[in-house]
Amino acid sequence: MRVFAHSRKDAVLVGLAIVQLALLVAATSSAATLPVRHATALGALTVFLICTNFQCVAHNAIHNPFFSSEVLNRLFSVVNTLCIGVPQSLYRVHHLHHHKYNNDAKDPVTGTTRDVTSTFRHGRGDGEEPIVTYAAIGFFRSSFRYMWNRAQAKGLLGLVLAESLALATFLGSLIWMDWRGVVFFYVPVWYLGHMAAMAENYLEHHGAVPGDRRTDSVSSYGRLYNVVWFNNGYHQEHHWKPQVHWTEVPALRRQLPPGTSRRIARGAHWFNFFPPPSGAYRNIQAGSAQAPGGPVRYAMKGGGDEPARV
């Protein structure tokens, strides 16, 4: 029987999670005795690895579980919970909710978005929220009751409990080894890692046209960026067909509108800070009410393909 369900390249993602976990334990248990500059460097590396885990490891495990064995997939879910500091199964519910509504714009009737992680949800008027507040407090806006209920409905509650128990035991062990490392190293890097992941999610949608799965995200085709982050730059392609494995997602680019008709960040998503040009997009359903769960249609100013209804 094959060990990996989709590709042996997933072994790199599994190995990355194990390395991250080992580094997290070593750094947390020794940070209080290290020179400040060394502890700071370890902290920066750990923040980057937490963000990388969310974007690449945890993310790809959600869409295409790595192993042929369900037992191994569940075991990895528990292990990766220790890496990201939240139950992987709850993150799965959270992320699939995001895919269901795809960073939608505010409904003119309800005045809010269906996607609770949408960059528009807490923005002024019809605009996006600033990246600073989105990243800084986004985690604390999460509806854990919703995630818990959805996990229960999906039969994942037992796994969530196992992940939660493992995480509590892990944190207790770190406190036992050196409580100072937990307070002054683990907690800050955990928060900054989550903040970086939220900022990355923001930049993967900032300036994109909501309402169509071919334009609602931002892609970035920098070669180094996609090598380092396992083709994470093909984000519009991923939202177009999220079931496609990360090794094959670049091939979806030809199914999307050209770059002149959608948002593309040069080099990496990390540089997608600038707003879209004034008047770049126009809502062609202006004046009509969008029913909850109904479609919104958009077109690009200046012609190009008109996105299909969703």
The pLDDT, as a whole number, for residue 276 is 56
Write down the pLDDT at residue 278: 46
Q: Is residue 123 part of a domain?
A: yes
Q: What is the pLDDT of residues 158-196, one digit of tens each?
A: 999 999 999 999 999 999 999 999 999 999 999 999 999
Q: What is the pLDDT of residue 277?
A: 52
- pLDDT of 273: 84
pLDDT of 143: 86
- Does 308 map to a domain? no
Distances from the Cα of 289 to the Cαs of 153, 216, 306, in angstroms?
32, 20, 20
In angstroms, the CA 189 to CA 187 distance is: 6
Q: What is the pLDDT of residue 274?
A: 73
Report the domain count for the chain: 1
Q: Which domain holds residue 235?
A: 10-300
Structural domain contains residue 305:
no
Q: Does 306 reside within a domain?
A: no
pLDDT along the chain (310 residues), means of 10: 94 98 98 96 98 98 98 98 98 96 96 96 95 96 90 95 98 97 98 98 95 94 97 98 98 94 94 65 32 32 28
Q: Does 232 map to a domain?
A: yes
Residue 4 located in a structural domain: no
Q: Is residue 154 domain-resident?
A: yes
Domain-embedded: residue 44: yes
